[in-house]
Structure 1
């Protein structure tokens, strides 16, 4: 039921209603030039309420709505690394918006926040924050708490930095690194073994560390990726990045020969020390634990320094994956095969991620095409 009151030169309405739990709410709005305009606005709200709108939730502070949304839809349903980011966003929203109600966040206010946030954060991080809030807003629109998307068409700012897929070694550096890794890798230098396996397979570091001995086929020279290792939060095995990441990768006999040697050395160490690994992990080290990502990156950095790669040009373990792709593309390997080898969900992801490398091969492929077409004219 709505009531109306003239205040000064304008009109105000007030409506009241009960929610599903029987709690009574009121909402008022003023500044209407005529009573008729106030009546129309009140009627619109009453219609929305009759159709299940939760306009009362728009009065919740943005940070409180975010907390409720995360708790209801996200916590316990996502990877640990993803859930780690939610409270960080909550603190950021609290610091910037305070107790500003969700319904008072306009596109202009949100853009101002993104501009400010981008001054101190990478563009990729700003984009991630905007994406999470956009998902929350869509829920708010679906439950009729909001009726417009204040994140729509927002411009992302922040430092671009170097794209991950641009971080790869030159091919002569890659060859030197692979040879050094193979020469020095053994059970006592297990992180070097991980670097060698990553370079030869294009696997992510979590996939390499998640290998168990039953994943290694010494006869077929293949590695089966069906899980990964949580080296960040130390929760043990976790699923691969996505379903398509479950795959079998062909490797050289040199890779499986090295792993066979490591298995013998690991077994001898376990026999001597009485240690056991219930998970049967390939990269269970002499420190009685599975290697960490930090240990693998440290080994990689030491090798890069040893072969003379300047600090600014050095890559992380993930850069080995991109270098692996760069080398295969330079050798004319089919992009569809590379996509499957990497465990991408589709070839478009591979083409998008490595478009700069594909462009670099364009002139070479064009020359080969012209030679092929020239044969037809003879």
Structure 2
């Protein structure tokens, strides 16, 4: 609450506030020449409870609001890797929209941000940041900090030359790697078993690290992915998101290989000779060495590339993209198609040839019964 009071020939602005115990206090400022000036001051200022000084009552900058939203609603429930992505979005908003307050931003200003940022960034990068901001905006509307969804009906702009190409092994290389790992595996070292499972299942590294024997149903040939392993904090944590919790079907061969690691005194599937779960660095070193021994040169190929390899293999055998999306634990099929658009385009020509063959067959059957008069 605030009011203005006439003090002799000038006006005084007075603003009240409550301390942490709920006790009411007043802070005033005198010397305003007109009542209007005093009222304008009270409309723009509040009292900081800590310093007991007047501070601006302006709405926060949008990047400030985004950061508060992230700390309140996202930080506690996402993985460390995902947190870094939100931090990157925050830094991007601050860099490109440093002076725009939450009550000032609109669809036109946001489109300009997308235009500027997207001009030299890949589609995947722009889409990820846009999705973070859109989630924040929807919550802001719910909390009545905003009245309109300014992200809706804007157009994603991106640099087509920066289209990300996922790194994967072709079918021949995949078979070579599988055979090599089978021949050289040693149950005292879990890394090669983890690599094999990644190729066969498309699971993420944290999901594989977090597997326990109760997650594997050898009768139904399924793996229940219900948690992930946090290597930094050495503890289990939820999967990347809700859709990542899933059950995937595998085959007898990989299950029989994994079964070699089973012991009676441990619930964890993948443990190395030092009774620890192999780290990202450890499995990537084994993967890099294995590829080198096979003469397969793939710069930048790492454990997550095995997930891409799994997708490439399924696509090459005409598995439906919707089924692949569910298998990967993606929340929407668009996530899959955007991530693997490069791979999908590669197999498009094969599909086109198949379609042409089908149409030719149609002509064969119809021409039999068609006569030209």
Deviates more, 1:137-146 or 1:227-236: 137-146
Local SS of the residue matching 1:73: helix
- Does residue 262 of structure 2 align to residue 263 of structure 1? yes
**C-alpha spacing 1:151/1:352, structure 2 compared with 1 (3 Å):** closer
**C-alpha spacing 1:147/1:330, structure 2 compared with 1 (3 Å):** closer
CA contact (8 A) 2:244 2:328 kept: no
TM-score (norm: length of structure 1): 0.67
Render the CA deviation track for 1:311-342: whole Å, top value 9, x for unaligned. Answer: 43x53222222222322332344555544443
- The match for 1:330 among 303, 309, 316 is 316
Give the structure 1 partner of residue 49 of structure 2. Answer: none
Partners of 2:323 and 2:123 in 1: how far apart? Answer: 31
Deviates more, 1:109-118 or 1:236-245: 109-118
Q: CA deviation at 1:283?
A: 1.0
Local SS of the residue matching 1:189: coil
Local SS of the residue matching 1:188: coil
Structure 1: segments with no counterpart, 5+ residues: 2-15, 25-41, 46-55, 268-275
Q: CA deviation at 1:310?
A: 2.1
- The match for 2:288 among 274, 280, 301 is 301
Partners of 1:121 and 1:260 in 2: how far apart? Answer: 45
**C-alpha spacing 1:160/1:317, structure 2 compared with 1 (3 Å):** farther
Partners of 2:25 and 2:131 in 1: how far apart? Answer: 33
**C-alpha spacing 1:311/1:99, structure 2 compared with 1 (3 Å):** same
CA contact (8 A) 1:207 1:240 kept: no
**C-alpha spacing 1:234/1:88, structure 2 compared with 1 (3 Å):** farther
- Does residue 352 of structure 2 align to residue 363 of structure 1? yes
Partners of 1:222 and 1:141 in 2: how far apart? Answer: 42
CA contact (8 A) 1:169 1:315 kept: no
Deviates more, 1:199-208 or 1:155-164: 155-164
Partners of 2:212 and 2:75 in 1: how far apart? Answer: 30
Partners of 1:140 and 1:149 in 2: how far apart? Answer: 9
Q: CA deviation at 1:200?
A: 1.7
Q: CA deviation at 1:177?
A: 0.9
**C-alpha spacing 1:189/1:362, structure 2 compared with 1 (3 Å):** same
Q: CA deviation at 1:363?
A: 3.2
Partners of 2:294 and 2:100 in 1: how far apart? Answer: 55
CA contact (8 A) 1:224 1:248 kept: yes
CA contact (8 A) 2:78 2:240 kept: no
**C-alpha spacing 1:92/1:356, structure 2 compared with 1 (3 Å):** closer
Partners of 1:283 and 1:132 in 2: how far apart? Answer: 34
Give the structure 2 partner of residue 289 of structure 1. Answer: 276
Local SS of the residue matching 2:296: coil
CA contact (8 A) 2:123 2:160 kept: yes
Q: CA deviation at 1:155?
A: 5.0
State how 1:197-212 maps to structure 2 within 5 Å. Answer: 197-212=197-212
Render the CA deviation track for 1:97-153: whole Å, top value 9, x for unaligned. Answer: 556543345667656655665688655334433433343344445555455666562
CA contact (8 A) 2:243 2:330 kept: no
Give the structure 1 partner of residue 253 of structure 2. Answer: 254
Two-structure CA RMSD over aligned residues (Å): 4.4
CA contact (8 A) 2:244 2:330 kept: yes
TM-score (norm: length of structure 2): 0.67
**C-alpha spacing 1:110/1:344, structure 2 compared with 1 (3 Å):** closer
Give the structure 2 partner of residue 133 of structure 1. Answer: 133
Local SS of the residue matching 2:224: strand
Local SS of the residue matching 1:247: strand
Partners of 2:311 and 2:95 in 1: how far apart? Answer: 42
State how 1:1-378 maps to structure 2 within 5 Å. Answer: 59-91=59-91, 93-94=93-94, 101-105=101-105, 124-141=124-141, 145-146=145-146, 151=151, 153=154, 155-157=156-158, 161=162, 163=164, 166-231=166-231, 234-239=234-239, 241-243=241-243, 245-251=245-251, 253-263=252-262, 277=266, 280-312=267-299, 315-335=301-321, 337-345=323-331, 350=336, 353-354=339-340, 355-366=344-355, 369-370=358-359, 373=362, 376=365
**C-alpha spacing 1:103/1:249, structure 2 compared with 1 (3 Å):** same
**C-alpha spacing 1:356/1:77, structure 2 compared with 1 (3 Å):** same
Q: CA deviation at 1:362?
A: 0.5
